[in-house]
Structure 1
Amino acid sequence: MEAVQYGLANHAYPEEQLLVHAYKLAGKIAKKSPVSIGAAIKLLNYSKHESFYKGVKEEAKLFGDVFLSEDGQEGIKAFLEKRSPDFKGR
C-alpha cells in the first residue's frame, strides 16, 4: 500500500482480492482495440532494448499505424457519435 502513497503504483489490493481485481482489469483491456493493445505491447518490449530517442520515434510510427487502422477510425467515429466502439482487430 505504500507504493500507492508514494505514487509508484495506481492501486494495491490485499492478496485475497488480487485475482478479482486482475480479472476486472483484464476485462477492461479486452474491450480495447486489439490493434492498439498490440502496439502498446510491442512498444513496451521495444523500449526495453532501445534508447529513449529510438523509443519516441517508434511510438510516433506505431501511433500513426493505429490511427490509420480500421480500429483507429472506428474509435474516433464512436467517440464523436458518443457510442461504444465495435473493434474488429484491423
Structure 2
Amino acid sequence: MPFYFLTYAPADLWWLYHVIAAIFIKFYDIIWGVKFALRNILGAETAVIPNKPDSWLYKVFDNLKSDFEKVYENKELVIFRIKP
C-alpha cells in the first residue's frame, strides 16, 4: 500500500482524482482520458477511490482492465494501479 497517500493530505488527493475522472466520465467517447490525466498530468502510478461499486468512478476503473489493475481492496477503499 502506498504510504504517501496516508501522510500527504489523502482527502485532497482523492478529490483531485475524483474531479479529473469526473470530467472525462461525462463523455463516454473520451473515457480514455482518465488514464491520460492521472498518468500524464498528475504523474500518478496508483489511484485510490472509495469502494462504492455503484458509482461511475468505480465502474470506469473496474471496467477499463487494459488501463487499470485492482491491487488492493477493503470495505472503504480500492487502490488501482495505472498500467503503463
TM-score normalised by L of structure 1? 0.27
Q: Which structure has more helix as a fraction of its residues?
A: 1
Larger radius of gyration: 1
TM-score normalised by L of structure 2? 0.29
Q: Which structure has more strand as a fraction of its residues?
A: 2
